[in-house]
Chain A
């Protein structure tokens, strides 16, 4: 009676998590389209000087084309100073996208480190760290950023710092959750048994395995960062002339909405398209990496 008559359950062939996720992602049409559009935007931003027909500040002094509606020469029309809006939107994309991604990476770095340490060490330190993050989280962040901008002046660096300082918290929370659930996994025991230091365990073992949800939240954090920059720039507290971003372009157009609507519409559309694409890509990644989360809020 000691024979093992364990039922041979059908064993699904073990597929690597990433390959499986990639396959699922490709099946999601919206995510793929989103991804392509994001890549397109990035390429356009990188090659702006080559692609844009005019420079972003070029004014034709002999024959100023002020406030022209969209035409063949100026696909997005021109602004109040006669500058080509199409080029300005392209140049603006550089700043908006750069801020989005770079700040995203900064927030990623801060968030992952913070969350990983809190998650791994646990106990009192974790409690304190999370309590602090919770307090920060409950502040209306825009307020905070505006106050920061007021204090430290409206320069480019502060914009990065300001926005990053309110965006890292979600990533920290996700990382911490992941680390906590992975912490007691076998491969950590194995690493410990060969005497790996804690720092090594965190950075070489835990983080790579926690990467899935972190990547997902990165793609969902970047659009919110871009929105924050647009918000600040729109109010005049963000990017400053002569640089342009989509938010700043929209601000320039806001006074003449009813007379020259294209001046606010096109930057708005560009931003919207980018946001939509990033969101679809992010949702697609989330579904691909963890199908059980599908359709949850």
Chain B
């Protein structure tokens, strides 16, 4: 059923213009997302995972950024080609965002209520009272006690964890079809992280939403998603079902990521493993495998051309020397 595909991303490319040259932030990302499906997008800082998804909704500042190619088909409509009004009708309505840092993502000058209801009042044309009722209902569902008091208050009166719950509730106000969560727990205490992730997981299943969960932490996406996309230097370097990624990782970067997850039950002698080297400079990125300097399976061909995404049935990967297992 073609209608099962909610989002189809085709070869999206984004660059940033700086005084020193062009920064190639997103270099041809393509994938498909179905209805009610949850995928994780994993990568280090600079991998382009955030920029990619911000670009899909045209949320990056242009200038200095520029989306230079590709299409993003949401229910058949190309988000990159829509007019401003048409795009804004979808943004915050059918597709909503949860950002990383709850301390700075809420406007400190406005009441919580204002920020909660402005989206739904704009998109669904409901009355103020109806919007308020929905906000209170959602506050209950995300576990915020005393919702009326919280609505009348301000962000600085809340803890980080609570603010993130507000963000989650805010993202659900319009009953979106797709929720994009960009590192929703990175800025939170470890103890709160699990709660928030649990909450997102539960809610999305209840609402029947699709979820794109962006994180630098494989562990975070492991429990919440059916498929995982691994990004590096603006490219997709591997994609597979969650089980397969962990059982049979193909790309050396993925392997490295998995290896660096500390596992409590394994005895470890010496230091924790971390992938040697540092992420590449995206400035004037050459057409070669960006993981080359840090890879222990590299060879000459890796510097000649960026390996294309190949598939062998299950999943895809971009490497000339993938792990076989």
> Does residue B3 face the partner (Cβ distance < 8 Å to A)?
no
**Which one of A1, A8, A10 contacts B293 once the chains associate, using CB atoms below 8 Å?**
A8
> Does residue B61 face the partner (Cβ distance < 8 Å to A)?
no
> Does residue A151 face the partner (Cβ distance < 8 Å to B)?
no
Looking at the assembled complex, report how far the CB atom of A23 sits from the nearest CB atom of chain B, in whole angstroms.
16
Q: Is the CB of B276 within 8 A of A5?
A: yes
Q: Is the CB of B281 within 8 A of A6?
A: no
CA distance A5 to B281 in the complex (A): 16
On chain B, the residues within 8 Å of A5 by CB distance are 276-277, 293-294, 296
Q: What does the 1/0 interface line of A1-16 toward B look like (CB < 8 Å)? A: 1001111111000000
With CB as the reference atom, state the residue of chain A lying closest to B277. A7
Give how many A residues have a beta carbon under 8 Å from the other chain's beta carbons.
Answer: 8
> Does residue B208 face the partner (Cβ distance < 8 Å to A)?
no
Number of A-B contacts (CB under 8 A): 19
Closest 3 CB pairs of A and B: A7-B277, A7-B293, A5-B276
CA distance A8 to B276 in the complex (A): 12
Q: Is the CB of B281 within 8 A of A10?
A: yes
Which residues in chain A, 1-48, are within 8 Å of chain B measured between CB atoms? 1, 4-10
CA distance A9 to B280 in the complex (A): 8
Given contacts A5-B277, A5-B294, A7-B280, list 5 more A-B pairs with CB under 8 A.
Answer: A5-B293, A7-B294, A8-B293, A9-B278, A10-B281
Main secondary structure of the interface of A (DSSP, over half): loop
CA distance A1 to B269 in the complex (A): 14
Count class of interface residues, chain B: under 10
On chain A, the residues within 8 Å of B280 by CB distance are 7
Q: List 15 contacting pairs A-B, 8 Å CB cutoff, sorted by A.
A: A1-B296, A4-B276, A5-B276, A5-B294, A6-B276, A6-B277, A6-B278, A7-B277, A7-B278, A7-B280, A7-B294, A8-B293, A9-B278, A9-B281, A10-B281
With CB as the reference atom, state the residue of chain B lying closest to A3. B276
Looking at the assembled complex, report how far the CB atom of B195 sits from the nearest CB atom of chain A, in whole angstroms.
37
Centre residue among A1, A5, A9, A10 by max chain B CB count within 10 A:
A5
Looking at the assembled complex, report how far the CB atom of B296 sits from the nearest CB atom of chain A, in whole angstroms.
8
CA distance A9 to B294 in the complex (A): 12
CA distance A234 to B293 in the complex (A): 69
On chain B, the residues within 8 Å of A8 by CB distance are 293
Looking at the assembled complex, report how far the CB atom of B215 sits from the nearest CB atom of chain A, in whole angstroms.
24
CA distance A8 to B277 in the complex (A): 9
With CB as the reference atom, state the residue of chain A lying closest to B19. A291
Looking at the assembled complex, report how far the CB atom of A10 sits from the nearest CB atom of chain B, in whole angstroms.
7
CA distance A182 to B277 in the complex (A): 29
Looking at the assembled complex, report how far the CB atom of A20 sits from the nearest CB atom of chain B, in whole angstroms.
15
CA distance A9 to B281 in the complex (A): 8
On chain A, the residues within 8 Å of B278 by CB distance are 6-7, 9
Q: What does the 1/0 interface line of B244-283 toward A look like (CB < 8 Å)? A: 0000000000000000000000000000000011101100
On chain B, the residues within 8 Å of A6 by CB distance are 276-278
CA distance A10 to B280 in the complex (A): 11
With CB as the reference atom, state the residue of chain B lying closest to A291. B19
With CB as the reference atom, state the residue of chain B lying closest to A5. B276
Centre residue among B276, B280, B294 by max chain A CB count within 10 A:
B276
